[in-house]
Structure formats: structure tokens, C-alpha cells
Chains A and B, each alone.
Chain A
């Protein structure tokens, strides 16, 4: 299946990636090559096969709803690029 530069731009927006005008043809070409590779999947009949999301078909375990780790907020907040009084700072969203 071939993809157009417009398709790539649309996917890039969904993925919140900016692709410059000058890079778009090459990104589209390489993206198309990868999709060409995965198109082989269309040659196998899987009508009755149940999709596999875990290789051992294990299900998620639930744990008791209890505190297990110490509060590490200060150390975790230290990784934020911009913060103030325990809040993450972002550019103004609402005028």
C-alpha cells in the first residue's frame, strides 16, 4: 500500500511530531518502504485466529489497593523541565 506525503503529515500530527517540508519526501519514501514490508501480512489467512497480546496468554494480576512505595514526589518533580510549587508548568492554555 502506498502512502502520500499528506498521509504522513496526518500521522505525524496524530503522533505530535513535526516534519519539515524539506524532510517530507524522504520520510514518506522510507515510511512507505516499512509499510511495504509489513504488507506481507495480507498474504496469510487468519480469519479464525484469536489475536495474541501476551506471548503466554497471561492475564494482568491485580494487587491489593495498598500503599507500597514511599512518597517520592520531590525527587520525581526534580526531573520536570519547568515547575512551580509542585505543579508542572506549561505555556498558557486558556486566555
Chain B
């Protein structure tokens, strides 16, 4: 088998080849590791490689396959976003604060995927503490978009999306607090799924905003996302917010038949602010689903425009509480020669955190401080309910809600970095989904000027299956998800 076939194969195809013994996990793993070594100098998508560990796991997977003993991901190489704690493997969260941090346990997502036989290749670059939409806030440097090295890959799971698009691994993980899986998936031309809040355990995921954070897969196909989600999901005694609901086999449940599926188009997403070319790509994709038997329905989400304001109170408030733990005492960065305890706190935090993280801590601390709590935090939690109720009403009439994943294609480095508010607008179509705790998926919908655009599909709570089915159908009837950047150009 050629390296290119290995490096562009889907999880479902590679899994079959592994089981048929047409390729070994060791061959596949070595091909991915070589690919990372060849391209990472240009892309900076991977912070830490664990080559030896990966080869050992691959050999163990090959032995298991030889015995006919395999899980859903046995022998499949993957990269984790560097926000998932990995036992004995450095986990930085893209921050100087955790530059040397080596966790003493695996995140539940990591242990569950390991138990299914996945082979971890390393850890992906990301915006610092997942705060960003361009990967420009990482302490380890920006990640380049493999479609155009002058452009951002999106964020915060930009390293994961770029690595996947560049053929470094057939499967990657991400987290999504306000769009951090769907927006980079859109900008890098891959499929990304943010599950329902509570579907996947947050244990061992370095916390950003605890009522919004959710982990999910990014892959080359919706089918692969279904395989990965089944492996990742489920109640966890270690996360009291994980949902006590059965996890269906999303892969077995995949169905091309979308006859009668009602897809809602919120007029607030398709208003005059939407870029005409993005609108054209999204509408073309939706017309494919219409031809497959779906019905497009105009709907309203009248409080959509409050999502950004609501999010930028709740997320920083929760972040300011979560990030209070970084004090230079128990783990993480400590400043040199502190004169007293106060100096230790102040300098460790100011030197350890980057600018965007400090800004969000400040905003969050302000929103929670005496005299402002009701005006900001309580108010935002009230508006959160109003936004959520918009979705509940819409889902009385439709099965899925569709829109763009991001306002445009990948933008050049520096274009939005000077104005935090301009950067926050990148997530204008994704934030409300986190506030309402719904599942959302981004699937490729063609190119604009050679750069990928994503269609977002939003589902009812815990109904990932329906959006996976719609994306699966779209990917059967179109080939947008097969478009790849020029892989040869990325290697030296």
C-alpha cells in the first residue's frame, strides 16, 4: 500500500485493512510519525510526539489483531489535543503555565480510546487554554493552515484540524467551548463533531468553562466521527455532569435515508450579514440534502444576537474560577525568586499566562465581583435560558438546524489579533450551541478561492445520530469532504 493511501485513508477503511491484515498498525503508525516529522516544521500542529510509546502500542495492536481480539479503534493512530491529560506524557494546554506539566493520570477520553485500541502519536497544538479562534494565542507558536501556510487553521483545536488535514493522523480529538471543534474543522476542510454537553466525560480535560466545555472527534468523514464518538462517550463517575444515558452505537445507527428530515434555516443566520459566497456554498449543500428527501423550513432564533454577549460573560467568569488553581504552588509555572507569597501568585500568573488568557480572567473576575455579579453573571445566565428556549421552540418544528460553521474562510495571520471583539465574531454561528448544550457538527461544503467552507448541522439534545446521518448522506452524494490540501507541498 502506498504511503499516500495510508495517509489519506478514513478510519473505517483503515480499520478494515488492519483487520484484513492488508496493513499492520506498525506500518500505519510509522507512516503517520514520518509524516509528522516531515511536515511539522512548516505546520507546527504537534507540540509533543510520543514515537516510542506509539510504536509499542502499535505492536500490541498488531498482536491483538492477529488473535482476532480487537476494539473499535485497535491499531488506529490518533493525535489528542494537548488539553487532554495523558499519564506520563507532557500536557501543556498551549501555555507557558503548563510547559513542563506531566499529568499523573489519563483523561477519561484518553483512557476510553486507549481501551478501544487506539495508538496515541502525540499531542496537538492549540490556543492557550483553548481561548482563541486562530491558534495565535499558543505559547508554542501559531499553527499554519495546510491549505495556505499564510493563514490561520482556526481554533482553539487548530493543531488537531491542521494535523488531520495534512495527513498526520486519520483521527484527532478536540474540545469545543464556543466553536473550537467546528470552526477549525470548517477552516481546514475536515468533519468535526461537538457532542451534546454531558455526552462525553470532562474528567482530565483541562477546564476552561465547565458548563460549556465538551470533547469530540475530528475526522475525514462523518462515519469516522460516529465510530470515534461511540468510543469516547458515556457516563463517568469522575464527572458528575456526564449524562446518565445509554450511548447508542452511532456507527451501527448510521443511515443514509433522510427522507422527511426537517431542516430548519434560522433567518438570523441567513441575514444580510452572511458572506454571499459562504451563503452560496451552504445553500448548495442544503439543496443536496433537499434532493435526498429533506425539507428546508424557515425558522427563527430571535435572541441569537445575544449569544456573543452572553458567552463573553459566562465563559470568562467560569474560566476565572477554573484558572484560579494556577498559583505557582502545587503544579505549573513558578516565577523566579518570589519575595513573598503575594509576589509568588502575581508574578507566576502574569508570567505564566498569555495576553488573551489574562484578559478573559480579568473580564470574568469583573463579572463575578461584588456589585457586578447580578448585572453581568446572573443576567447572562438568564439570557442563556432565553437563547436555549429559542432552540427548544425551533426543535418543535424541525429535526435539525443548519447554518454556516464560520463567517468566512481562513484569514491571514494577524488579521484579527489586535481587536479581541473582531476575533470573538469568528464564533458567531457556534457559541449559542454551547450555551444551549446542543450537539453540532461541521462538514465540508466546498471551497472559496481554494479554501474550505463548512456547513454546520445542529441537533436536539443527545441526538447526535440525526446530524451524523445527514452529514453521512451529504458525504455520500458529494465529494467536498475528500478535497485535500497539496500534501506534497508541505514536506520539505
Q: Once bound together, how far apart are the Cα atoms of A82 and B327, in whole Å?
A: 12
Contact of B344 among A14, A60, A72, A90 (CB under 8 A): A90
Q: Are A58 and B332 in contact (CB under 8 A)?
A: no
Q: Are A61 and B244 in contact (CB under 8 A)?
A: yes
Name the CB-closest residue of A to B374: A51
Interface SS majority for chain A:
loop
Q: Once bound together, how far apart are the Cα atoms of A58 and B366, in whole Å?
A: 27
Q: Are B379 and A17 in contact (CB under 8 A)?
A: no
Q: Once bound together, how far apart are the Cα atoms of A51 and B103, in whole Å?
A: 35
Q: Are A17 and B362 in contact (CB under 8 A)?
A: yes
Chain B residues lying within 8 Å of A42, measured Cβ to Cβ, are 375, 379
Interface string of B442-461 (1 = CB under 8 A from A): 00000000000000000001
Q: Once bound together, how far apart are the Cα atoms of A36 and B103, in whole Å?
A: 39
Which B residues, 328 to 363, have Cβ-Cβ distances below 8 Å to chain A? 328-334, 338-347, 349-350, 353, 358-359, 361-363
Number of interface residues of B (CB under 8 A): 74
Interface string of B429-452 (1 = CB under 8 A from A): 000000111100000000000000
Chain A residues lying within 8 Å of B375, measured Cβ to Cβ, are 42
Q: Are A78 and B362 in contact (CB under 8 A)?
A: no
Chain A residues lying within 8 Å of B197, measured Cβ to Cβ, are 54-56
Contact of A41 among B211, B310, B361 (CB under 8 A): B310
Name the CB-closest residue of A to B334: A81
Q: Are A38 and B376 in contact (CB under 8 A)?
A: yes
Binds A, one of B43-51, B380-388, B474-482: B380-388
Chain A residues lying within 8 Å of B260, measured Cβ to Cβ, are none
Query: How many whole Å from A55's CB to the nearest CB in chain B?
Result: 3
Chain A residues lying within 8 Å of B211, measured Cβ to Cβ, are 53-55
Binds A, one of B223-231, B274-282, B417-425: B417-425
Which A residues, 61 to 87, have Cβ-Cβ distances below 8 Å to chain B? 61-63, 68, 72, 75-76, 78-82
Number of interface residues of A (CB under 8 A): 52
Contact of B332 among A11, A27, A81 (CB under 8 A): A81
B154 contacts the other chain (CB 8 A): no
Interface string of A6-42 (1 = CB under 8 A from B): 0110011011111100000001001101111111111
Chain A residues lying within 8 Å of B243, measured Cβ to Cβ, are 56, 58
Query: How many whole Å from A25's CB to the nearest CB in chain B?
Result: 14
Chain A residues engaging chain B, CB cutoff 8 angstroms? 7-8, 11-12, 14-19, 27, 30-31, 33-42, 44, 46, 49-56, 58, 60-63, 68, 72, 75-76, 78-82, 88, 90-93
Task: Identify 19 residue pairs between A and B in the complex whose beta-carbon atoms are under 8 Å apart, listed by A's number.
Answer: A11-B362, A15-B362, A18-B350, A31-B359, A41-B313, A42-B379, A50-B385, A54-B211, A55-B436, A56-B198, A58-B241, A72-B104, A78-B102, A80-B329, A80-B330, A82-B334, A91-B344, A93-B340, A93-B341
